[in-house]
A and B are shown apart, each in its own frame.
Chain A
Amino acid sequence: MTRMTSGRTRHRPVTVQDAAALCSLADGETGRLLLSADLRTEEMAVHFIRALNTQQWAIPRIIDNDGVAEGLCFCADIEQRNLCARLVAVFASPAAGGGHLRRYVHDLMWALPYHRVYSLVPWSLPDLRKTYENAGFLAEGVMRDHYVYGDCLEDAAVFGLLRPEFFAASKPDELGD
């Protein structure tokens, strides 16, 4: 499921050659909050990519803009029993991530029978919260003190999207490949 998107940006599978790009994303604003600090070394990034690629239904995709990694999306906490997964989306620029997120969710919903995807967004990333809202996710509450950064606790906004909602909101030209 490698698909082209607008311009030279494409969503493609993640390989170990992307370790440096992953480190770069992990060091960015959203990456620091959403990805493990361990991923700032290429060696750990390679381990992470290998693990991610062996996880069923994780569908890791890197958003590649002419060789520059603009984002990373994958599914975690996958529950095949409940057809549910937590979506992790890291963007170099969260405010510009809406289109990428919609595209990733589109590919995800067409590739796998997920009934629900959700995300936990650190409260200090309002741009990312907006990105999820714009992508059709609904706010489902706030997990208090969910993230820990050093000595600080931070709430996480919960955003969820159900399969019927996704297809109901899809424009006709987005339905089908």
Chain B
Amino acid sequence: MGEIGSTICGPRVALRSPTAQDHNYLLELARSDPSFLWTLSLSHAVDLSDLGAFLREQLDNRIIELRVGQSPIGYVAADYRSPPAAATVRIGTFVQADYQSTSVGIEAAAIFISYLFEARQVRRIEGIMLDDGLARIQSGLGRYFTLDATFREAAFVLGNFTDVHILSISREEWHERGSGFTAWLLRQGGF
């Protein structure tokens, strides 16, 4: 994703490289949202000050700023999974509270998925969802993904262990299902 310096635009959202000013917000996101750490495979990080340095280094590689108009409203995070030959990327969208009930995050994910499949020759895209969000994502973009596995009690959140669901979609599946998704997004008033 290094060359994503140019902006990718959807009907409402634009994806662009973040700047150093995004760092503090990203660190706060890492502190508050375990899904963000899971998406970037940073759950092993114990010291969040180390995490801050890591995020600064990775801004251009794995984090994309999400804008509506001129306003930054969130991020798309992406992590190339090991081994590289599997060409699998784990992605997640993280939008501000005001936009969480809208479909802009879903639209951003969709255009980024298309970008990865078409421009980056990615073979499979994974998404992770903590237990409380599975029903929500399966009513949206998640319905086009396949639930591969549920890592039971794999995340410690607010004093409780919670399940982590791994969803994925292959390039072929995206081609089969993408039109259905576009129709769904249209019904949400996204275009």
Give A residues with C-beta under 8 Å from B.
77-84, 115-116, 118, 138, 140-148, 153, 158, 160, 162
B66-94 vs A: 1/0 string, CB under 8 Å?
00000000000000000101101000000
* Pick from B85, B152, B168: contact of A116, CB under 8 Å: B152
Main secondary structure of the interface of B (DSSP, over half): strand
Min distance, Cβ A171 to any Cβ of chain B, angstroms: 23
Give B residues with C-beta under 8 Å from A.
37, 43-46, 83, 85-86, 88, 123-124, 146-156, 161, 166, 168, 170
A-B contact count (CB 8 A): 72
A141 and B150 within 8 A (CB): yes
Min distance, Cβ B88 to any Cβ of chain A, angstroms: 7
Known: A81-B37, A116-B152. 18 other contacts (CB 8 A): A78-B44, A81-B45, A81-B156, A82-B43, A116-B161, A140-B151, A141-B147, A141-B149, A142-B148, A142-B149, A144-B146, A144-B148, A144-B168, A145-B170, A147-B83, A148-B83, A153-B86, A160-B154
A-B contact pairs, 6 of them (CB 8 A): A116-B154, A116-B161, A140-B152, A141-B149, A141-B166, A148-B83
Q: With CB as the reference atom, state the residue of chain B lying closest to A148.
A: B85
* Pick from B45, B46, B123, B155: contact of A145, CB under 8 Å: B123
Bound CA–CA A79/B46 (angstroms) = 8
Residues in B neighbouring A84, C-beta threshold 8 A: 43, 154
B152 and A160 within 8 A (CB): yes
Which residue, of A80, A140, A147, has the highest number of chain B Cβ atoms within 10 A?
A: A140
Residues in B neighbouring A162, C-beta threshold 8 A: 152-153
A82 and B154 within 8 A (CB): yes
